[in-house]
Structure 1
Amino acid sequence: MVLSGWTVVASESTTFNVQPLDIQAGYIAHRIYLHDYAVPTIEISGVTYSAIDKLPEDAFPSSVQRFDVLMGLDRKKPFAIVRIPAFSVKEDGTLQQVTGLTIKYTENTVPEPVVDNGRGAAKTTADVNSPLATGTWYKVSVPSTGLYKVDYNFLSTQLGVTGIPSSQIRVFGHGGKMLPEQNPQTGVKGLTENAIWVNDGGDGKFDPGDYFVFYAQGPVNWVPNSDRSMLVQEKNYYADKGYYLLNFDAKAEKRVTTQINKPSGNLIVNTYSGAVLHEEDLANPQNFGKRWWGEEFSSAPGKENTHSFTLDIGSMLDTVAFRTHVVNTSTAPGIFTLSLDGKQMSTLDVSATNNYDYAPKAMGQEAIWRLPHPGKSATITITYNTNSSEGSGWLDYIRVNGRRPLSVEGNSNVFCDLNSVGAGNVATYRVSNAGSGTQVWDVTDPQNPVRMDGNLVGGNVYEFVQDASSLHRFAVVNDAGSLDAPEFVATVPNQNLYGSAPVDFIIVTHPDFKTAAEKLAEFHRKRSGMRVIVATTTQVYNEFSSAGQDISAIRDFARMFYERAGMNDADMPRYLLLFGDASYDYKDRIKSNTNFVPTFEALESFDFLNTYSNDDFFGFLDAGENIERYDIVNALDIGVGRIPAKSAEEADRVVDKII
């Protein structure tokens, strides 16, 4: 059957005998290359069997007609993997194994393919340069999400910058928000400019008393949970700050605009979705995985089995929801007792671990409880007890969700409201504790904020209207001139990875090993005629992850060359070398850490049988590929290797042996 609107472009049958090596984990896998990324129609026929006495340990019996079709891309060429059960049970109860079959596939194409695989893309050249190619650049950091101010004094005393026109103030980057691990459907983006608001008195010059304001994303961002009932934390695994790059040498293209075509509201919003978090990433006792835990609980000498935490929830309203996640690494059950302001609220009996070689060495459990708001800041006390002298308890996090009154908190804060979102909704927001200088920015698009066209009513309420058919985020400030400033980090040398020509071989090296990496690159240029580029991790982060460490930036750097090549295989990169050792600790919390060029760590930090670290992540370059998705086939599009050097001396010795 061909679906309406689809056109048959290919139909072919393949008959083959099944050899023992063709069967993996109980399945026969057959790859079919396709014209377009669209699931083909599969028919299985002519199946032959042989009787067997017992099933392999990793196999489950099933009919051949219960096959799976998984889609993938191999250097932009679409394919399907047909997974056919190799073992089944006859009606008389005996076991049988497939020895031969015929697979017929009918390829269909839909007018708009599910994935743009680049087959129609023409070869392109790097006609766009990095903003960092020219001018003087300054790296600054922010500790958390919000509005930040840079004034004349900051520029003159910390950066040594004076006498600049206001029109040349530019801010680039996306701060502390992590890049997606899944390859986006769109192309790789380098540094992009942010819209900022400049207060220069109207004379076009940046003089004493002048300042500019920009919205920045920190390392912790709040996103709706799966049913959009509350906000949950999204914490950066790779950096503890958000970074931005400032420049004053060219005319800016972006400024914060003011809302136009203000709609009419059909509901009132005077509270919002609040969330408070305590989460410290202090330890990873299992030495694997992305997840780190916070405070340790133990009865061992010199350690504490009780910790208390005070959370600022004094302004929350009505019922609040407490959620905590704890971990037990003891070989006996761990009992966590949770109290709120001295009153016991919950007891968690977390399962014991065991000493079997392949058993998980940590067990986790979550507690959720709701109660009327205590009317003040709350102190949560957690006590841990176990009958074993080995192992400890750990706190992962405590999160509190509840409604807050919509108000300017301090001088500035960020807010959003899940409850008001709905089809056709237009919200009138009423922000209390406002004043004559109050501004509200819609920061839903964090690099292109829009200033709301609101009014001060009743003396201290700022009222504005915005669409609420989808979730919008806002930043409010009473006195922009009193905002916190970012922290100056360093001057950034000029670089232009984004303007690079096609290459065969990409080397990403830690700065300490650049000399050795350049020596190896020159060897391959002369010996093999390869086009080789050497880039430091710092350079890659500067252009592809807003100057902060992020493993996806390295992947995106390689993907930039891959995408620009279109379907010209000669211009697609062939090799990626990661020059430097890696570690499960991205943030240098352990002694003698070796996180020179980071690798991919799975999220799993409890069970080492279900976790892994892998450099294949950097070689999955096609749109939609994601190392942690199992409903597609991730295919390596570039050869990936690593020289795990831990010192410049070691790097030199390895290169000398190679050449």
Structure 2
Amino acid sequence: QAVDPSSVRVENVTFATMSRRDLKQLAIETIPSRLTYSLKTSMARDDMYAYFVMSPIIKEANGSFKKVTSFTVSYSNGRLITNRRGQQRAITNSVLSSGQWYKFYVDKTGVHKISKNFLSQMGIPVDIIDPRTLKLYGNGGNMIPYANSEPYPIDINENAIRIIGESDGVFHDSDYILFYAQGPHEFNEESNTHINCYTDKTYYYINVSPGNGKRIQPFMQPTGPIDLDINTFQDYRYHELDEYNLVSVGRRWFGDKFDVEDVKTFDFSFPDLVTTEPVNLKVFVAGTSETPTSMTVKVNNDNITTLPLLAITDSNLATEASFNNNVSVNSSNISVSLIYDRGSNPSALAYVDYVSLEATRALKFSGQQFTFKNKAVTQMSGIGQYTVTNTSQVHEIWNVTDIYNVTNLVNTDNSPSLSFTSSLGTLKSYALVTPLNYYEPILAANSTVYNQNIKGNIFKNAQGETIDIDYIIVTPTSLKGQAERLAQINRVNNNLNVKVLTLNEIYAEFSTSNPDIGAIRNLVKYVYDNASSPDKRLKYLCLFGDGSFDYKDRIPNNTNLVPSWHAYNSFNLTNSFISDDFYGMMDFNEGDMSISDKLDIAVGRILAENYQSATELVDKIERYYIEASFGSWRNNFVVISDDVNEAWEEILEETTDEIGDEVTAEKPFINVTKIHLDAFQQESSAGGDRYPAVNVAIKNALETGALVVNYFGHGGEDGLAHERVFTKPDAQELNNVCKLNCFVTVTCEFTKFDNPLRPTAGEYTYWNKDGGAIGLITTTRQIFVQVGVAFNTVLEEYLFSYSDNDSYPDHEYPSMAESLRLTKIDPAISSTLQRRLVFFIGDPAMKLAFPQPNIVLTKINDAPISGTTDVLQALSRVKLSGEVVDLSGNTLTNYNGVLSTTIYDKNIQRQTLGNDGVRDGGQLIIMDFETLGPIIFRGQSTVTNGQFDIEFVVPRDIGIPVGYGKVSFYAKKDGALEDQAGASVNQVQIGGLNPNAPEDNIGPVIAAYMNDESFVSGGITNSSPNLLVKLEDENGINTASGIGHDIVGILDGDEANPFILNDYYQTELDDYQRGVVNYPLRDLEPGLHTMTIKAWDVYNNSSTTEIQFVVYDENQQLIIENVLNYPNPFVNYTEFWFNHNSSESLDVLVQVFTVTGKLVRTLSGQTNTGECCDNGASSLSREIIWDGRDDFGDKIGKGVYIYKLTVHSAALNKTVEKIEKLVIL
């Protein structure tokens, strides 16, 4: 039942006083002086929501503040207008489905003339068609209304036209078409502009098909007494240019910059002006100055007003002023002058939005066509009589109130005066038609409009059956190939019915080829409304392409591939938001983006700038589903909080920590890593305070893999936190190829993708083709901390599927974009408009790769877990046993695969450090928090028929007090894209020391390589090689992070900055004694380097080894060295070897010549990041082998031969050759 908004009452209100300090980040100027509230009802996918909005803080007259502490609300039920019946449209064919179609455009409003020659230039066979069958279609040049309740044609309407000379059925040279066109520059109240936001052209179609077209008919004139004589009209003139977007946000553009000049004058002419009537003047200007300035307005040199332009602030990057009032003039020529006073700031700038005048003119023809209307007719009922004078050259008067059904009055006798009657009560528009100045249409670059039928065919499958649509992808034509790839990925992996539609197709059918965002929304709404049942409605919408604040490509290198909705507010980074939610507001009373609008469809955007980036992004999506992307990283969740620079920021840490704890409690199989900046040591640098250890921790967390990474705190276009803990270069260098995360960043402008002039850290995180994020739930503008707290808390409940407000079982998960949609309509969030500025960047149908339940621990040292008292003591050998089970706890006896087990020591109680010394009430702000204990074992074992065993030796470095640790499981099923997870919490006790442990004084065996095991110390690498370390010890390797007992790498003796390699160590399958470290090094300087590796076994015996390697700058040259064949000389067997400096795969060609230059044999192969080449053989040595025979298989003669080895790097687009000799015996 809906709420009657007018019935809402708030009573029994109690207050408590507040100090100014209690307001924290809240802007004082936004606090009202009285209690304000509202209670409204809205809908989302047929679920009804009521939400109460109140400003709970009041500013009193004396400057003090008080907050509401309790109240009661009363209301009456009402009726929510949904017009659901009206929304349901019959599925019909588009008018474009048949016939021949051609298009042209106009750039102004008025009566236009189409000649025979113009039709011929369009490609229409005028000489062989009957002009009576010509039809004109178009919906005019007004922007499509945002509100769904505003009427707008669902298809392209036929317009009534007049063809002079058509009656004989032949289009003669002297024949022509007259029609009334609505141009692109009509005043739009929603955007307060005269200029169409999206286009400067209004397209119309001409159709050639059987049947007569719609023609202009005479308009009806009521008879009876005249209640109002009308011989004047209100004429309108304006000046407006769209040249500058002052802050690169919002949909408002300005012109006429006051930089060098301080005065600008705009001249207007109103023939036959009625000077006794006032003239309405509107002036809208804006400024960007750090100090106050002003703009003086003059009309015909008379001072009218001076408009103050306030100084800009950190949040308001431009300010505006306006004038809207009547002025008196005594001349038909009106000059409006604007004089800018810069005050004390010579660098101040000002701009003009628009200047407009509305004046009353005599209804008298003055030599040119014009449109007229008189507002007085709306104030009366009855009959009015219009009288137009000086009409001897006016051929007709058209009633153009309904642009699709124009009617006319013909001046048959060229009368100097024309009168006609019309009913009063509604405003009507008329046009004078004169041959003196018909407007000319303009040829389109491509006049042909191809047949299409989205409306009739979109629900049909290949067999012609009607099937509901789950998912629509909207793409520019240039990216359609990759959009189709994405569609197929979702058909295969998510069993969705996906349709790909190009923008050109949508615009052609839903807005007469005018690029209006309303056409996209109306297409989506058409599909949504015509589902076979409510539960079958459209679920996902993907906008496949980047967006920009510039709809019209006025800025260089623009990326407006798929447009978004932009707010009217264009000055403030908090309120001037961009949003794709517009495309998902489907209810009748939605669309204008008011606070009550609720999102019905999960919307996502693929930030592809071109075909290459589209390919790379779809590659990432495809990679997310492949077997190589399975792994225990899917059990990981990383939370990151900003530090406390002001007392109110304590809530950033607290909220983040609570989220981590809540996920831990609700989803025990998830392993939460907490990175609170203030828990690390802050360091000072020339560029400000920094947390170098946090930079490393974030990078390691991302590259070792996490399903979700959540940051809460300050941020911006360049990265996260004032201390720059994650920057654009960091985003570009990530190399988590098959461990792609969902990056949640409820911060400010981290992914402000709509400014092509300044790419953001969020975009680079998403664009990274070798890693980064698979999806971003991210902000595009500044967000208030109160909103961020609520948003973060609620989002995690849906993302991890433990909210009480969703319909998903605990083991099923909504897609990332659906999680965001549910968050935005949640009662805790839906009362703020700021929810609109949070985007999902990525595939909206993609679900996070949560493993399915469940894996359970059943035994410790062969004793049932339920009754065991065994404690995992340091240096004791342990055997754990368990099972992979279904939701009912039954063992999956057909489950065979590989299990990854991670065992954590007891949780650790920690504190933040209070690095910035911020105090609250004299007390240093310190937060206590709990984290997982150190990893004491990470290993792999075989699952056979649903059962597994794990054996290992507990490290000496565990915490000695006995307590419960955590055992985390992840399993991948053999031969299937299936995985499971589970955890043992509060079951396994860890602590103490095994007094009977055997003696071990020997450290581990260490072997180090670069890229692969074929590497020889001193060899060549590129600047980002992989460090490969093989470790072996009879009792296993210590990864428990005891003080000084990490696996570390020291580069070039820099012991102050070691590489901690524990998290990169993985044991071999079913063998805890051996394992491998695989660590990606990044951006090494050219030259000789030495890497020293130190590791400890679980007994804390250490060993050390080192490896040397030479980094060449691959951007300068591709290097090959030590080219040889071995053995040489040879009889019937030799191998070709060489060293190179690339970790990329290289194409290798060996050509053998006689000493006279005759080619006798060609061999080819490919390297695999090592120093020798690969001919495709399965041998691990990867050599090219030659048996001494020619290309025909014949043995060649003994002697000396020349061979040329050619190596090509596709990545560098470089080729290197070396020539050597060989001898055949």
Change (3 A) 1:498 1:39: same
CA distance in structure 1 between the partners assigned to 2:305 and 2:10 by the alignment: 55
* Paired residues for 1:71-82 under 5 Å: 71-82=41-52
In the alignment, does 2:612 pair up with 1:649?
yes
In the alignment, does 2:335 pair up with 1:365?
no
CA distance in structure 1 between the partners assigned to 2:146 and 2:392 by the alignment: 42
Quote how far apart the aligned CAs of 1:310 are.
2.2
Change (3 A) 1:542 1:171: same
Partner of 1:114: 81
Instruction: Tell which deviates more after alignment, 328-337 or 465-474.
Output: 328-337
In the alignment, does 2:102 pair up with 1:132?
no
Partner of 2:491: 525
- How many residues are treated as equivalent by the alignment? 594
* Paired residues for 1:214-225 under 5 Å: 214-222=179-187
Instruction: Tell which deviates more after alignment, 154-163 or 617-626.
Output: 154-163
**1:556 maps to which of 492, 499, 522:** 522
**TM-score where L is the length of structure 1:** 0.81
CA distance in structure 2 between the partners assigned to 1:431 and 1:582 by the alignment: 49
**1:257 maps to which of 217, 228, 250:** 217
Change (3 A) 1:566 1:446: farther
Aligned partner letter, 1:475: A
* Paired residues for 1:27-38 under 5 Å: 34=1
Partner of 1:248: 208
CA deviation map 1:58-96 (0-9, x unaligned): 6989999x863211111134332245787899xxx9977
Quote how far apart the aligned CAs of 1:132 are.
1.4
Partner of 1:207: 172
Secondary structure of the corresponding residue to residue 120 of structure 2: helix
Aligned partner letter, 1:438: H
**2:504 maps to which of 527, 538, 547:** 538
**1:196 maps to which of 147, 158, 161:** 161
Change (3 A) 1:104 1:338: closer
Quote how far apart the aligned CAs of 1:263 are.
2.8
Tell which structure's C-alpha radius of gyration is larger. 2
**2:236 maps to which of 250, 275, 278:** 275
Partner of 1:149: 113
**2:138 maps to which of 153, 173, 196:** 173
Quote how far apart the aligned CAs of 1:337 are.
3.6
* Paired residues for 1:304-343 under 5 Å: 304-318=261-275, 319-341=278-300, 343=301
Aligned partner letter, 1:348: T
Q: Is the 8 A contact 2:285 2:350 kept in 1?
A: yes
Change (3 A) 1:456 1:465: farther
Instruction: Tell which deviates more after alignment, 179-188 or 586-595.
Output: 179-188
Partner of 1:18: none
Quote how far apart the aligned CAs of 1:621 are.
0.8
Q: Is the 8 A contact 2:194 2:240 kept in 1?
A: no
In the alignment, does 2:357 pair up with 1:400?
yes
CA distance in structure 2 between the partners assigned to 1:262 and 1:81 by the alignment: 50
Quote how far apart the aligned CAs of 1:567 are.
4.1
CA distance in structure 2 between the partners assigned to 1:486 and 1:532 by the alignment: 39
CA distance in structure 1 between the partners assigned to 2:538 and 2:323 by the alignment: 46
Q: Is the 8 A contact 2:236 2:356 kept in 1?
A: yes
Q: Is the 8 A contact 1:620 1:634 kept in 2?
A: yes
Partner of 1:15: none
Quote how far apart the aligned CAs of 1:43 are.
9.6
Aligned partner letter, 2:200: D
Secondary structure of the corresponding residue to residue 113 of structure 2: strand
In the alignment, does 2:380 pair up with 1:380?
no
Aligned partner letter, 1:74: A
CA distance in structure 2 between the partners assigned to 1:426 and 1:497 by the alignment: 45
**1:503 maps to which of 437, 444, 469:** 469
Q: Is the 8 A contact 2:102 2:122 kept in 1?
A: no
CA distance in structure 2 between the partners assigned to 1:383 and 1:56 by the alignment: 41
Partner of 1:295: 256
Q: Is the 8 A contact 2:377 2:426 kept in 1?
A: no
Quote how far apart the aligned CAs of 1:575 are.
0.4
Secondary structure of the corresponding residue to residue 353 of structure 2: strand
Change (3 A) 1:456 1:466: farther
**1:238 maps to which of 162, 183, 198:** 198
Secondary structure of the corresponding residue to residue 179 of structure 2: strand
Instruction: Tell which deviates more after alignment, 417-426 or 527-536.
Output: 417-426
Q: Is the 8 A contact 1:151 1:211 kept in 2?
A: yes
Quote how far apart the aligned CAs of 1:236 are.
1.6
In the alignment, does 2:599 pair up with 1:636?
yes
Higher relative contact order (CA 8 A, sep 6+): 1
Aligned partner letter, 2:512: S
Show structure 1 runs of 5+ residues with no match. 1-33, 227-231
Q: CA RMSD in A?
A: 3.4
Quote how far apart the aligned CAs of 1:404 are.
1.2
Secondary structure of the corresponding residue to residue 582 of structure 2: helix
CA distance in structure 2 between the partners assigned to 1:41 and 1:514 by the alignment: 52
* Paired residues for 1:45-124 under 5 Å: 68-83=38-53, 97=69, 114-118=81-85
Secondary structure of the corresponding residue to residue 608 of structure 1: coil
Aligned partner letter, 1:297: F
Quote how far apart the aligned CAs of 1:587 are.
1.3
Partner of 1:161: 125
CA distance in structure 1 between the partners assigned to 2:516 and 2:408 by the alignment: 31
**1:418 maps to which of 375, 387, 401:** 375
Q: Is the 8 A contact 2:81 2:588 kept in 1?
A: no
CA deviation map 1:295-334 (0-9, x unaligned): 0112xxxx32232322223432204333322222122232
Secondary structure of the corresponding residue to residue 378 of structure 2: coil
CA distance in structure 2 between the partners assigned to 1:203 and 1:94 by the alignment: 83
Partner of 1:607: 572
CA distance in structure 2 between the partners assigned to 1:365 and 1:210 by the alignment: 49
Q: Is the 8 A contact 1:152 1:210 kept in 2?
A: yes
Instruction: Tell which deviates more after alignment, 382-391 or 582-591.
Output: 382-391
Quote how far apart the aligned CAs of 1:241 are.
2.1
CA distance in structure 2 between the partners assigned to 1:95 and 1:149 by the alignment: 67
Instruction: Tell which deviates more after alignment, 259-268 or 150-159.
Output: 259-268
Q: Is the 8 A contact 2:281 2:323 kept in 1?
A: no
Partner of 2:646: none
Secondary structure of the corresponding residue to residue 552 of structure 1: helix
Q: Is the 8 A contact 1:37 1:117 kept in 2?
A: no
Partner of 1:352: 310
CA distance in structure 1 between the partners assigned to 2:8 and 2:318 by the alignment: 44
CA distance in structure 1 between the partners assigned to 2:199 and 2:539 by the alignment: 30
Partner of 2:541: 576
Q: Is the 8 A contact 1:416 1:472 kept in 2?
A: yes
CA deviation map 1:121-172 (0-9, x unaligned): 88x762x111112222212111111111212221123434222112321111
Quote how far apart the aligned CAs of 1:213 are.
1.6
Change (3 A) 1:48 1:629: closer
Change (3 A) 1:40 1:433: closer
Partner of 2:958: none
Secondary structure of the corresponding residue to residue 255 of structure 2: coil
CA distance in structure 2 between the partners assigned to 1:545 and 1:121 by the alignment: 19
Change (3 A) 1:200 1:304: same
Q: Is the 8 A contact 1:579 1:643 kept in 2?
A: yes
CA distance in structure 2 between the partners assigned to 1:294 and 1:515 by the alignment: 39
Q: Is the 8 A contact 2:155 2:509 kept in 1?
A: yes
CA distance in structure 2 between the partners assigned to 1:250 and 1:658 by the alignment: 49
Change (3 A) 1:370 1:566: farther
